[in-house]
Structure 1
Amino acid sequence: MATLRVRVDGTLHALAFDPAAGASLRGILEPTDYRVRTACLGLGACGLCRIRVLRGDAGAVTAVERAQLDEVLLLDGIRLACQCHPMADLEVEVLSLAAPTNWRMPAGGLKGFGSLRWTPPLSGHHRGARPLGVAVDLGTSHISLAVLDLDSGRPLTLRFGPNPQRAHGADIMTRLVVAGGAGHAENLAALARGAIGEALGEIARSEGIDLARITRMTVVGNTAMLSLLANRNHQQLLEPRNWFAPVDCAPADTALWAQEWSLSPGVTIEVIPPLAGFVGSDLLAGLVAERMLERPAPCLLIDFGTNSEMALWTGKTLWVTATAGGPAFEASAGRDCIPAEAGAVYHVREGVGDALECDIVGTDEARGLCGSGLVDLLACLLRRGQINTIGRFADGSERFHFEANGRVLSLGWREIDALQRAKAAIGAGVAVLCECAGINPAELRHLLAAGLFGRHLDLKNAAQIGLLPALPAGRISLAGNTALAGACALLFAEGARQMLADARGCTRFVNLGNTAAFDAAFLDHLFLQPMSISS
């Protein structure tokens, strides 16, 4: 790892980056609070992302920079951030800071949302600009978008930001209850639509993308989020008999959405139908993204979130279920806990002596601990004997305090309890799903951990606290945002459409609420210890 020091308005900030990733300076800064102003796709066409190199080597001046910057500016160290690919420690000054926004490129850039395992058919010839598509993953806590070139299937840019409905409840059930009040359902729908429109507007401004070029849009999400977006049938989800039955979330008139989002009137906006009441099209899109029906069985996909969904492929049958993860995985819960956004401690490891070393998203200033950081911290405390398997501090204290880059953060038993309950629900869900399919978890050929939380997860620490089964090396993968990747594939690949239909046709639902084994399994998995699986 190398260090990028960024001077903004006289203040110096330090960021860690991996030179081997080959990211541009613009890409490194994009997920942070120190983004440079831009109006193109990082091609140097706008000439706005100006920085001054203060120390270090930012690489050779490119022909694009010579076209945009005169010799006097270049001699003064002025460069374009999109053209600089630092390979070692570097110190720069941001000369043109971007306006604050809720919508950021995820850490890792275009590689940060999952793999596109589908290719488009041979593209046609277009007289004008090539058509674009937009994929949307409407999550309970966050909304993610990707813009693609439909001819090549190549992602052009990504954005993710908070779902503003969070102000009306961190979990699904609370929002559904709120939606039952007079006028509240339309307000929740307007919040979600407004957030998508805001993200599209930010993409248009910062990337120079003409929204009129967008010809197709796919939207995936859990059933509750889709029903609230369309303002249709959300009250059905408050009745348990509908939880594993189809729910119609199709919007009445997408032409109004296109108008609100400044898209062309002829755009096709498709809300991918969910499987059932609490098994959404985000899970289906994840299956498509990973081409699960083509994988050796048995294979398990867990999409971690406020509403966590999982699918087990046995070669003939797709066993699916959903369980309440609560806010511990995505938005997190507690005094010093925040979502996995700028300032979040997302990795914790043992340092020298009693110290802990922390990795922070997009800045050197810690604001709180996110879900993956909480998993790491609990595993560290378990190894040190500072916490026991029931989630209580060994010395009897109420909170544990630690330092993250100069700021003191703390962890209390309530935050631990929230994660214990979330992981117990996941572990019990895995156990029951495997039991219904007649397999032992140890037989899993592959386990895919998906979602924003899953992208940062340390697999060894997750296995140590019992969040994931301790499978042999290579059998567990971090898959990123498979829901968004699948929504992208559904924009252009007919094969993806066929797999979506095939998945619907071989699905078996498991209602954990009606399964006697779930309660006992839930209690077993509350303990902070490895899952007991036998080979």
Structure 2
Amino acid sequence: MEEKARINVITGEKSQVFWALPGQDLWSFLAAHNFINDDNNNCGGRGYCGKCKIKVEGKVNDLTSTEKEKLLPDEIRKGIRLACHCRIAGEVSVYVEEKNAEFRLSDKAPFAFSPEMIRDEETVKVVNFFIPGLDDLAPSPIYDRLVEAWHGYKLDLTMDNLNHLLLFDRAGRPAIELKALVFDNRVVKRIDKKIEGVYGLALDLGTTSLFAALVDLEKGEIKGVISRTNMQRIYGADIISRVSYCLEKEDGLNKMHRILINNINSMIKELAEEENISTEQIYKITAAGNPVMLHFLAGLSVRGFAAAPYAGIFKQGLKLEAWKLGINVNMQADLFILPQVGGFVGGDTVACILSLEPDPPARYLLVDIGTNGEVVLACGDRMWAASAAAGPAFEGGNITSGGRAEEGSINKFYLDEEENLRFTFIGEGQVKNICGSAVIDLVSCLLTAGYIDNRGIITEKARQRLKVTAGSRGSEIVICDDIKMVRNNPLVFNQEDIRQVQLAKGAIRTAIDILMHKAGISEDDLDYILLAGTFGSYLNPTNCIKIGLLPGVEVSKIKNIGNAAAKGAIMALVSSKMLKKAEEIKGKVEYVELAREADFEERFINNLDFDVRRL
């Protein structure tokens, strides 16, 4: 038997010992033990993104040619390796950064609405009723008496529930008082002497993050919310990487499904413990998300999303039994997957539109900026939607010094009166990276000061006023290299980073322009531009307009609507009318496949440049 190698994983002052077979690559080892995070993983260990940098000491293979290309000389001197290219040859010590705590709230703070306002009383209710007692002379089975009492309703009771009711059914009792849990005024799911606390769960399943809200279905109150990192990230930061993994690996789909279900069950457990309830009290679930995530949830093949015309197995809403998917809730709980529009425009977009009910604006542009950006244009009774493959630049991905927002992240750039580049960052101490919203600020500042031109090229003025050096990804502006402030390597922003921003903003802006062209309207005709998603909360609207990401409307017309997909999922959870409305929305939205538009390529190329007239 081959002897295993000792792996020492050092996190801050904590050290853990693991064992691995020689020859295993370090990335797969770290992923298996949950040490891979969003900052050091874009390609899912495929060896080309250059993000999985990690300090290694001990017996490993020599540097590969890719590592020599991707790593800086100073990084190599410090023992930094790319985990996916580094193979274990013997005892190894690996230095992993401590993970930051994830978002957790126990109230309804993220939402400026109360589900009680739109809750249907008929959706869920607990009803008192009586059935005759057991007659000695003409005994009638308890189930028959229940059927008679609930004539016209469907009794969807478990065998355990029926056995439990026998405890109260003794001969000689004139009547038995009971309570029934009734859904949609037609289905009885539980009958008992007492029914305490009926809850539902609303899910928003994102590529990067998962969100869950626990809702009291009787009162329409949000009891707790939670957000967790999507653990599928270890197989790729974007959806296409995960689809590719499923096609490459025989058990890929099952693995993605199980990871997602485990993620969901973990959130359910935390929410239930926080509220001091049993998971058996959760009787209903609604789920929004992009089409691939919803297919992963249902355990359905994602092969249709690997190539055009990008069609999955289903688009309309699905009703499934939650327990059959392995979700730890009441066995009677139904899972309602919200309908999808088409292509990569999914149930999360439908939920966003639903969240604007009951009085949506007449003409609005809804934009959810992310790796796969969704754009919706509503004009009167018509709606158009498209997805834009923006890539991860706006989330800090594929940016040399980019990363997710956390302690040490630069979160804002601005120019002082003398056009010096200034920034603020999260927390105290040293600077770690540049988060996505700050990337947009940075490009806007560089354009405004004339440090880059309309093509994104670093100008002579920048070379005179800023520190500009030559790097492996073109000329780079040094943002911060003060060893007292920078946690690791100097923070830089180079020509390739600028190009990534141009590609991302070009993709989203092209989607916007094509939809507006189809509707026959201009930016002046828009009532509002609505920014959906958590990321949108941190965007500076003026800077979004300056770089050409959004049309040049009055800034007052740009509104952030927060996690609208989660709000829509909650609305569908507490109101059957809203769940039905989601299907109506899906039927009204016209999906536009951008690549099939005759002028797509021309518009996209034109949108790569920056419009200096907006400055």
Question: Shorter-chain TM-score: which interval?
Answer: 0.7 to 0.9
**How many angstroms apart in 1 are the aligned matches of 2:316 and 2:252?**
20
- Match for 1:230 among 267, 277, 298? 298
Are 1:423 and 2:500 counterparts? no
- Match for 2:525 among 433, 443, 450? 443
Are 1:169 and 2:251 counterparts? no
Match of 1:40 in 2: none
Match of 1:156 in 2: 223
Structure 1 residue 158: deviation in Å?
2.0
1:250-284 Cα distance to aligned partner (Å, 9 max, x none)? 58753133xx4432222222222322231100000
Provide the secondary structure at the position in 2 that maps to 1:329. helix
Are 1:323 and 2:391 counterparts? no
- Match for 2:586 among 504, 526, 535? 504
- Match for 1:203 among 264, 271, 280? 271
Of stretches 492-501 and 395-404 in structure 1, the one that deviates more from structure 2 is: 395-404
- Match for 1:477 among 559, 567, 572? 559
Match of 2:54 in 1: none
1:285-315 Cα distance to aligned partner (Å, 9 max, x none)? 0000122x84332211111222111111111
**How many angstroms apart in 1 are the aligned matches of 2:290 and 2:114?**
21
- Gap change, CA 1:428 and 1:526, over 3 Å in 2: same
**How many angstroms apart in 1 are the aligned matches of 2:107 and 2:274?**
15
- Gap change, CA 1:366 and 1:515, over 3 Å in 2: same
Match of 2:211 in 1: 144
8 Å contact kept, 2:338–2:582: no
8 Å contact kept, 2:272–2:278: yes
Match of 1:105 in 2: 104
8 Å contact kept, 2:429–2:485: no
Aligned-partner residue type, residue 205 of structure 2: L
Provide the secondary structure at the position in 2 that maps to 1:217. strand
Match of 2:280 in 1: 212
8 Å contact kept, 1:463–1:530: no
Within-5 A mapping of 1:81-120: 103-105=102-104, 110-112=108-110, 115=113, 119-120=118-119
Match of 1:332 in 2: 397
8 Å contact kept, 2:394–2:439: no
- Match for 2:370 among 305, 313, 337? 305
Provide the secondary structure at the position in 2 that maps to 1:474. helix
Aligned-partner residue type, residue 103 of structure 2: R
Structure 1 residue 245: deviation in Å?
8.9
Are 1:289 and 2:355 counterparts? yes
- Match for 1:462 among 544, 568, 580? 544
Larger Rg: 2
Are 1:346 and 2:411 counterparts? yes
1:397-442 Cα distance to aligned partner (Å, 9 max, x none)? 4222334993353222333222211111111001000111111132
Structure 1 residue 212: deviation in Å?
2.7
- Match for 2:201 among 134, 137, 157? 134
What residue ranges of structure 1 are gaps of 5+ in the alignment? 1-8, 10-98
Structure 1 residue 222: deviation in Å?
0.7
8 Å contact kept, 2:368–2:532: yes
**How many angstroms apart in 2 are the aligned matches of 1:451 and 1:349?**
24
TM-score of the superposed pair, with normalisation by structure 1: 0.73
Match of 2:168 in 1: none
Match of 2:336 in 1: 270
Of stretches 280-289 and 478-487 in structure 1, the one that deviates more from structure 2 is: 478-487
Q: How many residues align?
A: 430
Within-5 A mapping of 1:46-125: 103-105=102-104, 110-112=108-110, 115=113, 119-122=118-121, 124=125
Match of 1:254 in 2: 322
Structure 1 residue 355: deviation in Å?
5.2
Structure 1 residue 172: deviation in Å?
1.9
**How many angstroms apart in 2 are the aligned matches of 1:114 and 1:392?**
43
Structure 1 residue 206: deviation in Å?
4.8
**How many angstroms apart in 2 are the aligned matches of 1:456 and 1:347?**
9
1:129-155 Cα distance to aligned partner (Å, 9 max, x none)? 332221111111111222222233332
Match of 1:86 in 2: none
Structure 1 residue 247: deviation in Å?
4.3
Larger RCO (alpha carbons 8 Å, 6+ apart): 1
8 Å contact kept, 2:343–2:593: no
Provide the secondary structure at the position in 2 that maps to 1:140. coil
Aligned-partner residue type, residue 493 of structure 1: S
1:47-75 Cα distance to aligned partner (Å, 9 max, x none)? xxxxxxxxxxxxxxxxxxxxxxxxxxxxx
Structure 1 residue 486: deviation in Å?
0.6
Are 1:381 and 2:379 counterparts? no
- Gap change, CA 1:515 and 1:433, over 3 Å in 2: same
8 Å contact kept, 1:401–1:411: yes
8 Å contact kept, 1:243–1:276: yes
**How many angstroms apart in 2 are the aligned matches of 1:474 and 1:237?**
38
Aligned-partner residue type, residue 413 of structure 2: V
**How many angstroms apart in 1 are the aligned matches of 2:543 and 2:521?**
25
**How many angstroms apart in 2 are the aligned matches of 1:150 and 1:306?**
34
- Gap change, CA 1:431 and 1:455, over 3 Å in 2: same
Within-5 A mapping of 1:359-370: 359-360=425-426, 366-370=431-435
Structure 1 residue 211: deviation in Å?
2.6
1:315-364 Cα distance to aligned partner (Å, 9 max, x none)? 1211111111211233633232112345433332335763513142x666
8 Å contact kept, 2:285–2:573: yes
Aligned-partner residue type, residue 280 of structure 1: G
Aligned-partner residue type, residue 439 of structure 1: I
**How many angstroms apart in 2 are the aligned matches of 1:364 and 1:199?**
32
Match of 2:479 in 1: 402
8 Å contact kept, 1:227–1:234: yes
Of stretches 263-272 and 184-193 in structure 1, the one that deviates more from structure 2 is: 263-272
**How many angstroms apart in 2 are the aligned matches of 1:383 and 1:124?**
58
Aligned-partner residue type, residue 398 of structure 2: A
- Gap change, CA 1:331 and 1:373, over 3 Å in 2: closer
Aligned-partner residue type, residue 433 of structure 2: G
Aligned-partner residue type, residue 276 of structure 1: G
8 Å contact kept, 2:338–2:350: no
Provide the secondary structure at the position in 1 that maps to 2:550. coil
Provide the secondary structure at the position in 1 that maps to 2:202. strand
Aligned-partner residue type, residue 340 of structure 2: P
1:238-257 Cα distance to aligned partner (Å, 9 max, x none)? 23134499547858753133
**How many angstroms apart in 2 are the aligned matches of 1:474 and 1:287?**
21
**How many angstroms apart in 2 are the aligned matches of 1:113 and 1:382?**
35
What residue ranges of structure 2 are gaps of 5+ in the alignment? 1-11, 13-97, 128-193, 470-474
**How many angstroms apart in 2 are the aligned matches of 1:422 and 1:265?**
44
**How many angstroms apart in 1 are the aligned matches of 2:100 and 2:199?**
23
8 Å contact kept, 1:469–1:530: no
- Gap change, CA 1:441 and 1:261, over 3 Å in 2: same
Provide the secondary structure at the position in 2 that maps to 1:241. coil
Provide the secondary structure at the position in 1 that maps to 2:452. coil
- Gap change, CA 1:247 and 1:235, over 3 Å in 2: farther
**How many angstroms apart in 2 are the aligned matches of 1:310 and 1:483?**
13
**How many angstroms apart in 2 are the aligned matches of 1:329 and 1:521?**
20
Structure 1 residue 209: deviation in Å?
4.7
